[in-house]
Chain A
Amino acid sequence: MALNIDDYLTVYRTMVTIRQFETLAGELFAAGKIPGFIHLSLGQEGSAVGVCSCLRKDDYLTTTHRGHGHMIAKGADLKKMVAELFGKKTGYCKGKGGSMHIADFSLGILGANGVVAGGVPIIAGAGFSIKMRQTDQVAVCFFGDGAANRGPVHEVMNLAAIWKLPIVFVVENNQFASTTPHREACAVEDISLRAKGYSMPGMTVDGNDLLQVRNAAETAVVRARKGEGPSLIENKTYRIRGHFEGDPQKYRRPAEVAMWEDKNDPIARFSHFLTQEKILTENIKEEVWREVAAELSEAVTFADQSPFPEPEEALEDLLTS
C-alpha cells in the first residue's frame, strides 16, 4: 500500500501527536496532575506509527506499560486517554486502569499491560480467534527487549508459528529493560535472530526510520492477512526518557541520550524526508504542531473538568453477573 501525500501528512501528524502527548504527560506528571507513575515513549514514535499505519481499524493490538504511542497510532481518543491518566470517570476505563491499562475494544486495542510480556499470550488468543472465525484480520503485539527474555514470549511465538496464526510480533528494542542494558540481558544482539528458531521471518530495522519500519510492517501484515503466518520485527530504537518519569537513570550517560535526541530523532528524520520530497513545508509543519497542541489542550481541559469517580464505583465492573 503506497502512501499518497495525504497519507504521509497523516503519518507525520500522528507522530507529532504522540510526541506532544508524551511531552505533555511528562509535564502534567511533574505538576502532580497524574497519580501513580507513567512510562513515556518519547523517541519511539517511528515504531508505533510505522506499524500501526499499516493496520485496519478491526485489526487487533496489544501493547505494553509504555503504550500511549501505540494507542494514539491506532486511533485512540485523546480526551479519554488524558482523562484516564488523571483517574477521571470519563477516562477510557472510568479511572480503574490508568496509564498502564488503557484499551479501546472498538478500535481492536485489547489493552496496554502492566506485566512485562503480559500482552503477548493475549495476542495468541486474538490470532487464534481470527483463524477460527475465518476473518482476514491481523493481530499485532508490541513488546520490549525486556519482555523478549520472558518465557511466555517463547511459548507464544512457537504456537503462532505451528498454527500459522496471523500475528505480527513487534519487539521495540529501546536498549534498556528498566535499568538493564540489552547487551547484558540478551544472548543475541539482534532479537530478530530468534525468529529463525520459530521458523518465521525475522527482520531488524532502524526503528527511528519510519519508512523502514513501515516497509517491514507492511510485509509482515500482508503475510499475516494472507494466512501465511506470523513474523517478528525488531525495531531498534532508543528510550529518550527514563523507564518511568522520575527515574534517576544512573545506568546511562546524559551525553548518550542527547546524541540520540539530536542526531537520531524519528520525527526530525521523517520531517527531513518529507521536506526533501516537497510534501512538508515550514507552514504546514507549523500548522500541524499548532493544531495538535490545540487538540491536546482541549483534551486536558476535558479531563480537568471531568469528575472523579464516586468512591463506591470501585466495586463496579468486576463481573457481568
Chain B
Amino acid sequence: MPDRILSCSAALAEALNEEMTRDPSVFIIGEDIKAHAGIFGQFKGIPENFPDRIIDTPISESAIAGVGLGAALTGLRPVVDLHFSDFVTCCMDELVNQTAKIRFMLGGQVRVPLVVWCPDGAGLRAAAQHSQSLEAWFVHTPGLKVVIPSEPADVKGLIKAAIRDDDPVMFFQHKKLFAKEGPVPRGDYVIELGQAAVKRPGNDATLIGYGSGFYLCREAALQLSEMEIDAEVIDLRTLKPLDMTTVAESIKKTRRAVIVHEACRTGGFGAELAARIQEELFDYLAAPVKRVAARDVPMPFSPPLEDYVLPKVADVIAAVREVRTRK
C-alpha cells in the first residue's frame, strides 16, 4: 500500500493510537489534553478510543513528571505531555535528578520506559517563555535519550520506537511543524533510535540539522543547487544516541560541514557536534565547521525582533559559501 500524506500532528496521533491498541500499559498524561485531544490536536481520536488512558491533570508539572516516573517504575509505559517544552523547568528535579539517574544510581535494578513529549520551538510570536529549544540541557544529562523528528514519517517511526524503549526518552516536536505534511507509511512503521537520515545526497558540503533546522537545511540545499553547489542534507532525528557514523561518512566525502539548529548558539548541540567532528574527522576537513543558530538572547515577542533572532535559510547559504571558499 502506498504511503498517505499526513501532517506531523496526524502522524503522531496515528502512531499513539496504534501503540495504545498494541500495548494496554501505554497511557498519556498531561495538562489540558482531553477536551481538544491535545492543545495542538496531536492526540486526535485518543479521547474517544481510550478515554481512561488519556489523563488530564492539574497544573502540577512536578507531580505529572513524578507520575510518569513512578508509573514507569511499576509496570506502565507513560507518555508525559509537558504542554510546552519550556515547562521542563517546573519539573527539572523529576527529569534530571530522578528519571535520568534512577536506573544508574540503583545499580541497574530498574527499567524506565518513559516518554516525555515536549512541543518546542519559536516562530509563533509566543515570546521568551513559550518558544525555547532546550534539547542541549538533556543531551548534557547522562541517562536520557533525546529525539527530535522533523518530517511526519519520522514522527510516526520515532514515537513508536520511543514508547517501546526501556529508557527515558525526551521527545521534542517543533510547534510550528505540526501542520507540515508528508508521506507516512501505513502500519507498524518503527525507526530505530540513534539513526540519522541522509535526506538529500550531495558532494560539496554537509548540512546537518534536526527539527526545524532540518527544513532550513533542505531549503538552503535547494537554493544552493541553483548556484551549482551540491549540498548533502543529514537529519539527525536522534541527538542521543548520536549517529556519528552517518555524519562521518558524509564529511569524509564533502570535507565541509555546517550545523543548523534553532536553539541559541552558545552551548547548543552544534557546539558538541562541532567538537566531535574536529576530534574525529579533523584530517578530512577542508574548512572549519560552521554553526547556524539563534542569537544568544531570550526569544523576543515582536515579529521583526523574533525574525531577526532566529536562524534563516540565507544564514545557512552564507555559511555554506564560507566553508566552500576554503580550499
Contact = CB atoms under 8 A, between A and B. Distances in A.
B76 A121 contact: no
Given A121-B67, A122-B98, A132-B27, A317 B107 contact: yes
A49 interface: no
A297 interface: no
A123 B246 CA distance: 42
B198 interface: no
Contact of B67 (A93, A110, A128, A151): A128
A176 interface: no
B167 A158 contact: no
Contacts of A317: 103-104, 107-108
Q: How large is the interface on B (under 10, 10 to 19, 20 to 34, 35 or more residues)?
A: 35 or more
A94 B107 contact: yes
Contacts of B167: 319-321
A270 interface: no
Given A124-B63, A133-B76, A162-B58, A118 B97 contact: yes
Contacts of B107: 91-97, 317
B74 A126 contact: yes
B181 interface: no
B102 A111 contact: yes
Nearest to A110: B73
Nearest to B144: A319
A159 interface: yes
Interface in A91-139: 91-97, 101, 103-105, 110-111, 113-115, 118, 120-130, 132-133
B1 interface: no
B266 interface: no
Nearest to A120: B66
Contacts of B73: 105, 110, 122, 125-126
A309 to B, nearest CB: 9
A60 interface: yes
Contacts of B166: 320-321
> Which residue, of A92, A133, A155, has the highest number of chain B Cβ atoms within 10 A?
A155
B97 A129 contact: no
A120 B69 CA distance: 11
A105 B74 CA distance: 9
B11 interface: no
A60 B142 CA distance: 27
B98 A121 contact: yes
Contacts of A114: 97
A248 B160 CA distance: 54
Contacts of B106: 92-93, 96-97, 101, 103, 105, 111
Contact of B109 (A103, A158, A316): A103
Interface string B92-106: 011001100011111
B89 interface: no
Nearest to B165: A321
Interface string A291-321: 0000000000000000000000000111111
A16 interface: no
A152 interface: yes
B205 to A, nearest CB: 33
A128 B68 CA distance: 9
Given A115-B97, A128-B71, A132-B27, A121 B66 contact: yes
Contacts of A130: 74
Nearest to A100: B105
> Which residue, of B66, B72, B75, has the highest number of chain A Cβ atoms within 10 A?
B66
Nearest to B102: A111
Given A103-B109, A115-B97, A133-B76, A319 B70 contact: no
Given A132-B76, A155-B60, A318-B103, A122 B66 contact: yes
A64 B199 CA distance: 49
A155 B75 contact: no
Given A118-B93, A132-B27, A321-B166, A158 B60 contact: yes
A110 B111 CA distance: 12
A48 B270 CA distance: 50
Nearest to B53: A132
A159 B63 contact: yes
Contact of B74 (A60, A155, A156): A60
A120 B108 CA distance: 21
B239 interface: no
Contacts of B143: 318-319
A94 B108 contact: yes
Contacts of B97: 114-115, 118
Nearest to A113: B98
B108 A316 contact: yes
A26 B58 CA distance: 43
B70 A126 contact: yes
Nearest to B97: A115
> Which residue, of B61, B107, B142, B145, has the highest number of chain A Cβ atoms within 10 A?
B107
Interface in B224-267: none
Interface string A65-92: 0000000000000000000000000011
A136 to B, nearest CB: 14
Contact of A156 (B66, B72, B111): B66
A92 B141 CA distance: 24
A310 B62 CA distance: 36
Interface in B140-172: 142-143, 145, 165-167
24 contacts: A92-B106, A93-B106, A93-B109, A103-B110, A105-B110, A114-B97, A121-B63, A122-B70, A124-B66, A125-B67, A125-B72, A126-B70, A128-B70, A129-B76, A130-B74, A132-B76, A133-B75, A151-B62, A152-B94, A156-B66, A317-B104, A318-B142, A319-B167, A321-B167
Interface of A: 60, 91-97, 101, 103-105, 110-111, 113-115, 118, 120-130, 132-133, 151-152, 155-156, 158-159, 162, 316-321
- Interchain residue pairs A-B with the least CB separation, the first 7: A125-B70, A121-B66, A317-B108, A93-B107, A155-B60, A94-B107, A155-B63
